[in-house]
Amino acid sequence: MQSKDNTPRIIIAIDGYSSSGKSSMAKSLAKSLGYNYVDTGAMYRAVTLYAMRHGMIATDGTVNADAIAAALPDIAIAFERTPDGSQHTLLNGEDVENAIRHMEVSNNVSPVAAIPAVRHNLVEKQQAFGMEKGIVMDGRDIGTTVFPDAELKIFVDASAQTRAQRRVKELVEKGIPASYEEVLANVVHRDHIDETRTESPLRRAADAINLDNSEMTIEQQNQWLLDRYHEAISKLNA
Ligand code: DC
């Protein structure tokens, strides 16, 4: 599929650790290119919120994987563009954009994302979003599992401390209370579960380009990403 000026529209996979800033980068790139943006972490968070609301996660964090797997047909996830240009996640039609960012959801999401039935269901939905190309998708397994043939794959990393600081800032800006220690512990714990689960663990695709953005400003990251996009397009045209 091509855009009006005949530039091919491609799939851009941005994977990396939690709070590495990949969502902001992915969003900004999608906006610059006129591409669709899909935050796959939001999809795992929405399933987690549904499970919490329906008593499928005990207060000690024990997850009822069978109940969650059985509920998947009842869980509809969509994205909606708001008038201010930001994107909100809808769970069965309800705007849950704020609710899915709360610490309780962050604390429960990794075990839910490790359930094979949940992964299969969401990966299928993500692949459907990419049918038309012209998409930027961020997550953990986009370059390895969802779109192994993506024309551009980026793997983003930054130290756990940098990521925790960013996350606290983001949460505070949204009016969600958060302590640095709690967020750092959550980031480290989630990294571990995401890297060690058996079903599509967080792993850099062999052909992904690495980006360590610990020392980069947002503007530098955006420019870096646009440069990689232009390189990918010239390779296709070569
Ligand atoms: O990017 P995030 O922090 O919003 O992601 C939330 C959780 O979902 C995270 O613990 C890992 C999981 N996730 C995943 O397993 N696969 C993806 N493609 C995206 C997120």
Within a domain: residue 83? yes
Within a domain: residue 185? yes
Domain count, the chain: 1
Strand boundaries in 58-178, DSSP class E = 77-81, 87-91, 94-95, 135-139, 152-157
**Whole-number Å distance between alpha carbons of 91 and 14:** 23
Which range marks the domain in which residue 139 is found?
11-237
The answer to whether the CB of 68 falls within 8 A of the CB of 112 is yes
Residue 234 is inside which H or E element, if any?
Answer: helix 218-237
Within a domain: residue 181? yes
For ligand 1, atom 11, which residue shows the shortest CA distance?
110
Averaged pLDDT of the chain: 92
Q: Which CATH number goes with the domain that contains 205?
A: 3.40.50.300
Q: Is 44 in the pocket of ligand 1 (CB under 6 A)?
A: yes
List, for residues 54-84, the tens digit of each pLDDT value: 999 998 889 999 999 999 999 999 999 887 7
Q: Please state the rounded mean pLDDT for residues 97-123.
A: 94
Within a domain: residue 1? no
Q: Give, for ligand 1, the residue of 15, 25, 44 to mutate: max count of ligand atoms closer than 8 Å to Cβ.
A: 44
- Determine the atom of ligand 1 nearest the C-alpha atom of 40: 19
- Residue 144: CB atoms within 10 Å: 22
Which structure tokens are listed for 181?
A: 């220690």
Report how far ligand 1's centroid is from the alpha carbon of 187 (Å).
11
Return the pLDDT at 218: 85
Report how far ligand 1's centroid is from the alpha carbon of 5 (Å).
35
Q: Is 141 in the pocket of ligand 1 (CB under 6 A)?
A: yes
Within a domain: residue 33? yes
Report how far ligand 1's centroid is from the alpha carbon of 140 (Å).
6
Which structure tokens are listed for 127?
A: 């692949």
Q: Which residues of 152-174 are buried (b: 16+ CB within 10 A; e: fewer)?
A: bbbbbbbebebbbbbbbebbeee
Report how far ligand 1's centroid is from the alpha carbon of 16 (Å).
9
Please name the amino acid found at residue 144.
T
List, for residues 115-153, the tens digit of each pLDDT value: 999 999 999 999 999 998 999 999 999 999 999 999 999
Within a domain: residue 6? no
Confidence of residue 1 (pLDDT cuts 50, 70, 90): low
Q: Is 130 in the pocket of ligand 1 (CB under 6 A)?
A: no
Please name the amino acid found at residue 91.
L
Q: Indicate the pTM of the whole model.
A: 0.91
Give the C-alpha distances (Å, rounded to integers) separating 131 from 1, 2, 36, 44: 10, 13, 11, 20
Q: Is 119 in the pocket of ligand 1 (CB under 6 A)?
A: no
